[in-house]
Amino acid sequence: MNKYIVEFIGTFFLVLTIGCTVLGSGGIPPLAIGSALMVMIFSGGHISGGHFNPAVTLGVWLRGRCHSKDVLPYMFSQFLGALAAAQLVRLFRKPPSTPLSIDLLPAFAAEFLFSFALVFVVLNVATAKGTAGNSFYGLAIGMTVMVGAFAVGDISGGVFNPAVALSICSLGLVAIKNLWLYLIADFLGGFVAAQTFKIVSKEDAA
């Protein structure tokens, strides 16, 4: 149960940071979001692995470092934490009048590519034998999200996380009709990243 609580907390503060910075008038959202993910991973990684993202949970499970019995509870905790944070954001910030306008094909490609990058980084810095015991994994993961948000934030919103996608749809940042794009692209990116990791790291089998 402690693992699920940590996954709830980490996802909650990630989404709270996303909502407050994106809807706020100050700060640089990608920097704040990447930093929030980094500190949550450093604080909870030793308990739950610090996934805070259903696509990451999928990738870690396919890689063999997450028990099957934990997959659905992890994802439930992440979605619940994201939705709870979104409700709190409504108290702090005014929802946008119109959602982000996206071009479906470029947005899908952007979400897939950086979800792949995120999960591939997670698997290599947090689960690989060659990087076991390192002290930089949280920074590497947080900066991957930051880089992705800077690079394609204006194309797709820079989500890379199905739980975040659901929460920003509930806030009106993204049209609910486009939720499918994020769910498919982000989970697909996590799936392909796990398969790629297994191909390039055959000596690091689970």
Report the CATH number at residue 137: 1.20.1080.10
Q: In terms of residue numbers, what domain contains 69?
A: 2-204
pLDDT of residue 206: 55
- Residue-level pLDDT at 205: 63
pLDDT of the residue at 125: 95
> How far out from the chain centre does Cα 92 lie?
22
Q: What is the pLDDT of residue 201?
A: 86
Domain count, the chain: 1
What average pLDDT values come out for the chain (206 residues) when binned by 10 residues? 96 97 88 97 94 98 94 98 97 89 96 98 92 91 97 96 97 95 98 95 73
Q: Return the DSSP state at 159.
A: -
How many other C-beta atoms lie within 10 A of the C-beta of residue 129?
Answer: 9
In terms of DSSP H, where are the helices of 54-161?
A: 54-63, 68-92, 104-126, 137-156
